[in-house]
Amino acid sequence: MAVKRIGILTSGGDCAGLNAVIRGVYAHAKGHFGWDVVGIHNGTAGLLARPVEATELDDRVLGSDMLRQGGTILGTTNKGDPFDFPMDDGRRIDRSAEVIDGYRDLKLDALIGIGGDGSMAILRRLAQQGGINLVTVPKTIDNDLGATEVSIGFETAVQTATEALDHLQPTAASHSRVMVLEVMGRDAGHIALSAGIAGGADIILIPEIPYRFAAIEQKLAALRKRGRNFALIIVAEAVRTEDGQSITAVHSGGGKGVKTYGGIGHYIGEEIAQRSGAETRVTVLGHVQRGGTPEPKDRLLGSAFGVHAVDLIAAGKFDRMVAWREREVVDVPIESAIEGYQAVDPKGTLVKTARGVGISFGD
């Protein structure tokens, strides 16, 4: 198949480094192979719209400002699964055929989809149904895809969470307080674990390691005994209450709408204050972790992934996800990537490292 024109879309929650992928794809596809590159707007929502929402990319995306720019110039969506699409009247219907028609309208030879496991699963189903030549690029600040050592967005999120601990430490020490920082990560504790070690947390709470308040109190007492007047606690959003309840927040639709994790930091802070009498303050870092200037690693990874995704199309290798392993960019079947969910390994190097430097997991 002679490729002339490819499409690219970003899907799922945005993160830092997406624009580096778009730039890498365009630079290599246009510069090396002479293909046209069409940027599809707002993920599959752009393919559902009529007329289809897409623009042919031009040399403006080659600028180095693209590397520095957070978010995605294409826009994205993390709702509206076309196979189970929520209609205004409350019905849920299959609109996958419309998405595929939209894709065909653009007369594309292949599609690069940048997304997390959920988006990749949807794109793969669409590709199978519509005969789309698909290559995917992994992005998620949660870093929970096992097939790649790191996904786009994770490094910047860790950097932001680490900086937050750097900022909290002096104010904690000035006021003799216990500071609780709640970070994202969906069901995994990777951000909390990495930032907790790098930012000098005293206690890291992650969903993979159950905690007890008695152990947290013990750690705080031990710190006080050593003359420490403050403590830093980092907690992953999916951590549950001590009796196993997960804490979520509703964001739209009068109680029927989108729910995400959110609020465990306040629970932990209040319980500690009540149980130990310590003065606590809680910071919920939220979407600050997703926006902002991409860290160098996300720019590098984005560029490498973008170039490799184009090379896969040139080689006629489809249904593959690009990945980072042992200092190299490689590619794996999308199916195995989606199946390979990776939580924090409670016996892994980073947990051992944290314990080794005296960090408690409250267990």
What x/- string results for residues 297 through 336 when contact with ligand F6P is judged by CB under 6 A? ----------------------------------------
Amino acid identity, residue 244?
Answer: G
Stretch that binds ligand F6P, among 34-42, 160-168, 174-182, 183-191 (CB under 6 A): 183-191
Which one among 44, 140, 160, 283 touches ligand F6P, defined by CB under 6 A?
Answer: 140
Residues 197 and 357 sit within 8 Å (Cβ to Cβ):
yes
Stretch that binds ligand F6P, among 2-10, 184-192, 214-222, 340-348 (CB under 6 A): 184-192
Evaluate the omega torsion of the peptide bond into residue 86 and state whether it is cis, within 30 degrees of 0.
Answer: no
The tokens for 8 are: 């690219």
Site size toward ligand F6P, by CB under 6 A:
13
Q: From the CB of 258, what's the least distance to ligand F6P, in Å?
A: 6
**Position closest to ligand F6P via CB:** 184
Which one among 169, 246, 248, 260 touches ligand F6P, defined by CB under 6 A?
Answer: 260
Q: Taking CB under 6 A as the rule, does residue 142 contact ligand F6P?
A: yes
Q: From the CB of 188, what's the least distance to ligand F6P, in Å?
A: 9
Which is catalytic among the residues 142, 144, 311, 331?
142
Give pairs for 266-269: CB < 8 Å, separation 24+: 266/182, 267/241, 268/180, 268/205, 268/233, 268/235, 268/239, 269/178, 269/180
DSSP E strands, 226-362: 231-236, 248-250, 259-261, 280-284, 320-325, 328-333
Among residues 260 and 276, whose Cβ is nearest to ligand F6P? 260
Which one among 16, 180, 184, 232 touches ligand F6P, defined by CB under 6 A?
Answer: 184
Among residues 165 and 238, whose Cβ is nearest to ligand F6P? 238
Residues 262 and 248 sit within 8 Å (Cβ to Cβ):
yes
Residues 33 and 314 sit within 8 Å (Cβ to Cβ):
yes
Residues 261 and 231 sit within 8 Å (Cβ to Cβ):
no
Stretch that binds ligand F6P, among 29-37, 82-90, 131-139, 182-190 (CB under 6 A): 182-190
Stretch that binds ligand F6P, among 83-91, 136-144, 212-220, 307-315 (CB under 6 A): 136-144
Which one among 23, 95, 177, 290 touches ligand F6P, defined by CB under 6 A?
Answer: 290
Q: Whose CA is closest to 235, among 191, 277, 176, 291?
A: 191
Stretch that binds ligand F6P, among 139-147, 164-172, 198-206, 218-226 (CB under 6 A): 139-147
State the DSSP code for 145.
B
For 60, other C-beta atoms within 10 Å of its C-beta total 10
Which one among 23, 30, 124, 186 touches ligand F6P, defined by CB under 6 A?
Answer: 186
Q: Taking CB under 6 A as the rule, does residue 72 contact ligand F6P?
A: no
Amino acid identity, residue 210?
Answer: P
Q: How far apart are CA 76 and CA 344, in angstroms?
A: 27
Amino acid identity, residue 340?
Answer: G
Residues 357 and 198 sit within 8 Å (Cβ to Cβ):
no
Place of tokens 């699409």: 85
- Residues contacting 207, CB < 8 A, separation 6+: 187, 188, 189, 236, 238, 239, 240, 343
Q: Taking CB under 6 A as the rule, does residue 261 contact ligand F6P?
A: yes
Rg of the chain on CA atoms, in Å: 22
Q: Taking CB under 6 A as the rule, does residue 13 contact ligand F6P?
A: yes
Q: Taking CB under 6 A as the rule, does residue 185 contact ligand F6P?
A: yes
Among residues 260 and 342, whose Cβ is nearest to ligand F6P? 260
Q: From the CB of 13, what's the least distance to ligand F6P, in Å?
A: 4
Active site residue 298: no
Residues tagged active-site: 142
Interface residues with ligand F6P (CB under 6 A) are 13, 78, 140-142, 184-186, 237, 258, 260-261, 290
